[in-house]
Amino acid sequence: MNKIELLAPAGDLEKLKIAVDYGADAVYFGGEMFSLRAGAGNLSIEEIEEGVAYAHSKGVRCHMAMNIFAHNEDIEPLRAYLAKIRHIPVDAFIVSDPGVITLIKEAMPEAELHLSTQANMTNYVTAQFWHAQGVKRLVMARELTIDEIRKIRESIPEEMELESFIHGAMCISYSGRCLLSNFMIDRDANRGQCAHPCRWKYKLVEEQRPGEYYPVEEDDRGTYILNSKDLCMLEHLPELIEAGVSSAKIEGRMKSVFYVATVVSAYRKAIDAYYADPEHFEMDPAWYEDMTKASHREFTTGFYFNKPTNEDQNYQTSAYTRDYSFIGMVKSYDAGTGIAVVEQRNKMVIGDEIEVFGPGRDFFSQTLDFMQDEEGNDIESAPHPQQIVQIRMKEPVAENFILRKRKGQADC
């Protein structure tokens, strides 16, 4: 049985490597131009070379997003950019625009093409059309149900693959085709610059009464009328697999290293558990609990089982739930002394109760009772960004293990 691919976001080179280390089968990233996440760190050409080499050394595929809807002024720069990267063995390009597809085919005739969710692929006739254009994989529009996905799978050539989102932010606009950001602050979402106005709080002004603001409310609890909950399909992976989905995609190129490691790790465990015993798969509550330690909104299953209702919106707040802080990442470990060299990411102090986790294993807890600076001097706290410290570990760790702590602990 071919396992479903776990496809993880890589907003920059560090996140790419973390996604690989924590169990992704494939990663997707953007270059410095031409993808729909201009606010992500993205990768320079040199970083793409390094990232692809790193992923391939671990048997992980690399998909490069070029899914903008190009304007006239984008064409020649894109053609020149493709000439600069054609030597890099990227496994697939994620595309939306037929013109971009044409340019990629000109530069790299053998390139594998994946149709972005931005292209709004919602039926099997359209799927057949894209197959005729040389597209290998279709990223499902997020407005499709599992039954619709199954029908598409049954109606397309066997070699064509389907990819569906399983986790992350849901766009309130149809498959991300949104003009709000462009209209309101001249930042084009379809060229990678979305300002997320769907997360803003709105009030109503009547034309003849300037300055008089009326709340826009579903009820008296809130006014975030466009604010969707986040997608989470951790419990429903069997339904997607059995519908014929080949790749399970996590949204989040703008998210943190901590988020990538935590979410990829949870889905890796779930996918492996399913294939170990498909008939008796049940979601382990520990996977879900661990996953929610990364920042998240409330969860929904989106359109997969029914059309969303008011229960799939959050009218109260657009803020994330952040119960844990990412406080450090292990750079090296001495098994003889039990001392780890850690790069600080948020303040930690002696006495903190911390959790430590890494690829392929559950977390362990310990009290932070020993910490030194780089010179070996005892210190009580590590308040400086990316400060290098030495910490005694209760259990063995390795490079890229992550330290976190529950928020609300005293900083002294």
Q: Strands 371-372 and 388-392, how do they pair?
A: antiparallel
Domain annotation covers residue 43: yes
Counting the structural domains of the chain, the total is: 2
339 and 268 in a common domain: no
Among the listed residues 401, 266, 405, the one whose alpha carbon sits nearest the alpha carbon of residue 342: 401
pLDDT tens digits along 101-133: 999 999 999 999 999 998 988 999 999 999 999
361 and 274 in a common domain: no
Domain annotation covers residue 201: no
pLDDT for the residue numbered 218? 56
pLDDT for the residue numbered 192? 64
Residue 378 is given by DSSP the state: B
114 and 20 in a common domain: yes
Say yes or no to pLDDT of 174 above 70.
Answer: no
pLDDT tens digits along 363-379: 999 999 999 999 999 99
Domain annotation covers residue 158: yes
389 and 240 in a common domain: no
The model's pTM is 0.86
Q: Which residue range is the domain that position 41 belongs to?
A: 5-173+227-312
Domain annotation covers residue 195: no
Q: How far apart are CA 105 and CA 112, in angstroms?
A: 9
pLDDT tens digits along 253-272: 889 999 999 999 999 999 99
388 and 289 in a common domain: no
The Cα-based distances of 365 to 354, 371, 394, 403, 408 in angstroms read: 6, 16, 8, 10, 17
56 and 111 in a common domain: yes
Domain annotation covers residue 209: no
Say yes or no to pLDDT of 40 above 60.
Answer: no
328 and 286 in a common domain: no
Domain annotation covers residue 354: yes
Domain annotation covers residue 411: no
pLDDT tens digits along 206-239: 888 888 877 766 555 556 666 778 899 999 999 9
pLDDT tens digits along 321-354: 788 999 999 999 999 999 999 999 999 999 999 9
CA angle 161, 256, 200 (to 5 degrees): 90
The Cα-based distances of 114 to 135, 150, 157 in angstroms read: 6, 19, 15
Q: How far apart are CA 218 and CA 202, in angstroms?
A: 12
86 and 29 in a common domain: yes
